[in-house]
Structure 1
Amino acid sequence: MSILHPRKKRRMDSHPGHFDLVVVGCGGGHDETNLSAYLLKPRDKAWSDGILGLEAGSGYGALKRLFGTTHPHLFSSLFKPHQSKSKRPTNLLDKAHTSSVDKAHTVFTHLRAYLITHAHLDHCASLIISSGSLPGPTRYILGAQSVLEDLERCIWKPGRCWPHIVGWDQSEPSSNTAGGILRSLKLASSDNKDGGDKDEDYLPIRAGLDDMSVRVVPLSHGCAYTSSAFFIRHMRTRHEFLFFGDVEADPLPLGPPSASSCTSSSNSHAVNSSARPMLLPVWSHTAHLFTSNRLRALLIECSYPAGRPESRLFGHLSVEGLRKEIKVLADEVVKLQPSRIGGEKVINSVKVRQPSGTDRPTRRPLKRRASSDLPYPRTRSLVKSPASATPSSPSPSPAPAPAGPLSGLRVIVTHCKEPPPGFDLQGAQTIADYIVEQLKFGVKSLGLGPDETGVEYIAACQGDEFGEPSLLFRIGGGRTAGVRYPHCLG
């Protein structure tokens, strides 16, 4: 059974006009109660104005459990007590505001559409199971053409795995669409001239969610699977964030695919089998948005800790792969802002300097402990022992490290797979925390040093809320009360 771990309380701080996101599930398996599922809205809209689902691995059941255990105040704006002149007892009037069943039911009445990155069941199981039974209007199911065709052909159309209760947009009026309306989204061009910022690549969500549009890009997820990433844009402000489905690292070195390239963790893609870089165009576009102050956060998988053999990644990222890809993004940012190159810091042969106040909003520098030969160093995110809480002698504060080219970017780490029984988390509360510490500080025994790009890694946890500007939220259940930390989405 999944355990909802207590987490820090952190202040969600951002500018208005971006996005609010709730993590219904973020695991990479094998726990079916915590699978990829996120609920999203524009910051300047109410939840009652319409909700967009990003993935649908977990759903109604997971949300009901969150309401009934550690997160009773999720979506609190939907459950404000009604003003009524009725003489009925208050407990009857406000039953919907106290029952976890009714709360979850109410949230899903406002769900208008799903964006699905690929057709694997850990990303769409709740969508299938709940199709035709959840309250509210018929929902749109959006994704790349190949993703929707896989779902229709393997799940709905035969009428054997599940009743055939979905239909395509603009299909015959006689079609049964009680379970949803399929609408394919065109893949964006990989041409990155002018930063790839072509408005025609951004497609309207519609379905009552007119303040959002999406740019869909293909990803490599093993030899035989198609996956996607979504650049989600707030139409009025043009601010965005980036959401990844399952993904593997680009091939290094680049070159023609070998005959055995599909026998292990291949970097080829179902849409184009050549071993060309699928992520490089994504990072090029991300760098364009980041340097123009329009993107502050991305959600990306890191399924495995450092040290896992490449032949057992199965189309996913490990710590080494994600660190490599973040370095590629940093290089793309430096290309766009050569003025960042100074004499103060060298990152893989690229010199960077502390950005000026006009480059990008800055954040409070992180205080880091010294590294050790552990799989990751213990940090402030872990509970201090009595000995470490009262040092015998004061030590001088280290000088702040120069900021890297990605200072101000937050990478929210998702899809961490549960470790086998007996796996030593070295004091971390979840596998996601363990992986994030490795991403930050490296693993000395494996020759992986600390991250020097300036990016901030954050472990997603079921029940997290990202984006609210003015309320102090419980992140994952209240690990250490009183600790505040700013996050920004969009």
Structure 2
Amino acid sequence: MKLLTLFILVSLSCQIFANPAPKYVKPAFELITLGDTGGIQDGNLSAFLLRSLSDSNYIALDAGSLVNGINVALHKKAFANITINNDPAWQTNGIILREHVKAYLISHGHLDHVAGMLISSPQDSKKPIYALPSVNQTLLDTYFNWQAWANFTNRGKPPQLNQYQLIDLKPKQATPIKNTSLKVTAFSLSHPLESTAFVIEKGQNMFVYFGDTGPDEVEKQGKLNAIWRYLAKQMPDKTLRGLIIEVSFDNQRPDNLLFGHLTPKWLMAELKQFNILLQPNITLAGTKVVISHIKYSLASGQNPRHKIRQELAQANNLGIEFILAKQGQVLTF
């Protein structure tokens, strides 16, 4: 009996040493989803808050839904991990918007990515808007023009209210984000209106946010490939903590009706190209990929989210951890 017991213990010990537990990696970023859909669901449009876990302040990644998104996040206790500043002049949602959101990174000028920022601007605080030059120009021409909206920026049609400082990002050049410990590098994306991917860095950690984008095979501009190559060059020395990327439609959507968007099939094709660039020393296995911008539909039938989730799971042979964004959700990376 003693010999049998000893044999079992030795066998278990061998298994433990042969299959060590995965090494714990301390998270570097926190993400709060303020809006997860693309298109028509007002109150829940593309917007995220990202912060370094060493800081209690956020940057906004697009701003389709802002105050309503903050309200939903507060209800779900998504801000429980920070100490919210005390200001008796403002409600908690106002304090978060005014004092804890330090900058906007706007991917492109379509309304479902900027509406929340526009609507909340009369009670917002002074802060910068970082965007590619064409995106900032769209904001001026289309919205901050004293017709669609008052000019809350420091450029364009007078009087300029100087609440938002428009900062033009130079593509592929890192820029520090004011009042944070983060920096951002912008890449152009293929969309009917120029869109942007933002590579956000803190030290040796990277997080990537993609605005709306079509696949390279359809768009014929190679813009996603340029981002994959950039990240592949960085990753031997830096850690890609995660990324947010859109999947607007399911695989039944024909390519000629994508209008600069992705499907599960096309996203997996792009990620496979990225994975090839990383081999043989690095793979995308275990990478957290947050799916955003799923088009809300009023039509009866299967929920688009359910179908897209199924199609991603069926095609996922890279070991990626897909997470469908959900308003009010908090994630760490």
The alignment's TM-score, normalised by the length of structure 1, stands at: 0.59
Per-residue deviation, 1:291: 4.4
1:20 aligns to what?
A: 30
| Whole-angstrom distance in 2 between the partners of 1:305 and 1:406 | 23
Q: 2:246 aligns with which of 266, 286, 301?
A: 301
1:127 aligns to what?
A: 117
Distance verdict in 2 for CA 1:80–1:151, change over 3 Å: closer
| Whole-angstrom distance in 2 between the partners of 1:304 and 1:420 | 14
1:333 equivalent to 2:286? Answer no
Give the strand-richer structure, 1 or 2. 2
Distance verdict in 2 for CA 1:280–1:79, change over 3 Å: closer
Listed as ranges, the gaps of 5+ residues in structure 2 are: 1-23
1:58 aligns to what?
A: 65
| Whole-angstrom distance in 2 between the partners of 1:286 and 1:203 | 17
1:74 equivalent to 2:78? Answer yes
Distance verdict in 2 for CA 1:62–1:247, change over 3 Å: same
| Whole-angstrom distance in 2 between the partners of 1:292 and 1:314 | 36
Match for 2:151: what amino acid? H
2:51 aligns to what?
A: 41
Per-residue deviation, 1:79: 5.9
Q: Which structure has the larger Rg?
A: 1
Per-residue deviation, 1:437: 2.3
Distance verdict in 2 for CA 1:95–1:245, change over 3 Å: same
Q: What SS class does the counterpart of residue 314 from structure 1 fall into?
A: coil
| Whole-angstrom distance in 2 between the partners of 1:182 and 1:287 | 30
The CA RMSD over aligned residues, in Å, is: 2.5
1:244 equivalent to 2:210? Answer yes
2:11 aligns to what?
A: none
Q: What SS class does the counterpart of residue 295 from structure 2 fall into?
A: coil
2:233 aligns to what?
A: 288
| Whole-angstrom distance in 2 between the partners of 1:45 and 1:279 | 30
| Whole-angstrom distance in 2 between the partners of 1:79 and 1:215 | 29
% identical aligned pairs: 28
Per-residue deviation, 1:466: 1.3
Match for 1:117: what amino acid? S
Contact 1:40/1:54 (<8 A) preserved: yes
| Whole-angstrom distance in 1 between the partners of 2:205 and 2:59 | 17
Per-residue deviation, 1:250: 0.4
Per-residue deviation, 1:293: 4.9
2:323 aligns to what?
A: 458
Per-residue deviation, 1:105: 1.4
Size of the alignment, in residue pairs? 308
Contact 2:151/2:160 (<8 A) preserved: no
Per-residue deviation, 1:251: 2.4
Equivalent residue runs for 1:292-441 within 5 Å: 292-334=237-279, 337=280, 405-425=283-303, 431-441=304-314
Contact 2:213/2:246 (<8 A) preserved: yes
List per-residue Cα deviations over 1:156-187 (Å, max 9, x = no partner).
13x1111122114xx9xx84213x11111111
Distance verdict in 2 for CA 1:81–1:414, change over 3 Å: closer
Give the helix-richer structure, 1 or 2. 2
Contact 1:432/1:460 (<8 A) preserved: no
Per-residue deviation, 1:29: 2.1
The alignment's TM-score, normalised by the length of structure 2, stands at: 0.85
| Whole-angstrom distance in 2 between the partners of 1:112 and 1:246 | 23
1:177 equivalent to 2:177? Answer no
Listed as ranges, the gaps of 5+ residues in structure 1 are: 1-12, 83-93, 189-200, 253-266, 268-274, 341-358, 360-404, 426-430, 442-449, 468-488
Contact 1:142/1:183 (<8 A) preserved: yes
Distance verdict in 2 for CA 1:78–1:282, change over 3 Å: closer
1:163 aligns to what?
A: 150
Match for 2:29: what amino acid? F
| Whole-angstrom distance in 2 between the partners of 1:418 and 1:244 | 19
Per-residue deviation, 1:155: 1.2
Distance verdict in 2 for CA 1:176–1:313, change over 3 Å: same
The higher relative CO (CA closer than 8 Å, separation ≥ 6) is in: 1
Distance verdict in 2 for CA 1:292–1:432, change over 3 Å: farther
1:142 equivalent to 2:130? Answer yes
Contact 1:413/1:436 (<8 A) preserved: no
| Whole-angstrom distance in 2 between the partners of 1:454 and 1:291 | 20
| Whole-angstrom distance in 2 between the partners of 1:15 and 1:418 | 35
| Whole-angstrom distance in 1 between the partners of 2:214 and 2:136 | 21
| Whole-angstrom distance in 1 between the partners of 2:107 and 2:73 | 24
2:106 aligns to what?
A: 116
Q: What SS class does the counterpart of residue 223 from structure 2 fall into?
A: coil
